[in-house]
Amino acid sequence: MKPLSWLLTLLLAISVINYPNPFNPKGGEIVTFECTSDSTLETDLYIYDMSARLLLQKPFNLQSGLNRLIWNGYSEANERVGTGIYLYRLIEKPAKSSLAKGKIWVINR
């Protein structure tokens, strides 16, 4: 079963892009996360600071085709995040498996 497992992981891999990167929430900018999916998946987008502290968890349920989600640079506590690099991860809900990850650069001017 192991060969099938890695093949399934490869086929389900999803590429997420985010733009603009860097972005300026203090100036009113938002960042858009965009990905294309071949199937419907129930997922969440997690955003962390560099100390791995969870700042935000947003539902990002993927439908077949192009999917978009925006983030305004605020945490779940409704506080604007500071200048720095933040990490994001797209997690499939039922399996708790990671589908994609990346970085966001925030510059507050």
Q: How many domains does the chain have?
A: 1
pTM of the entire predicted model: 0.83
Q: How far is the C-alpha of 46 from the C-alpha of 59, rounded, in Å? A: 9
What is residue 95's predicted lDDT score, i.e. its pLDDT?
87
63-75 pLDDT, tens per residue?
A: 989 999 999 999 9
**CATH code of residue 39:** 2.60.40.1930
Using a 10 angstrom Cβ sphere, with 0-12 exposed, 13-18 middle and 19 or more buried, the burial of residue 58 is: middle
pLDDT at 19 over 50: yes
Cα radius of gyration rounded to whole Å, the chain: 15
* Range of the structural domain that residue 21 is part of: 2-106
CA gap 70, 41 in Å, rounded: 18
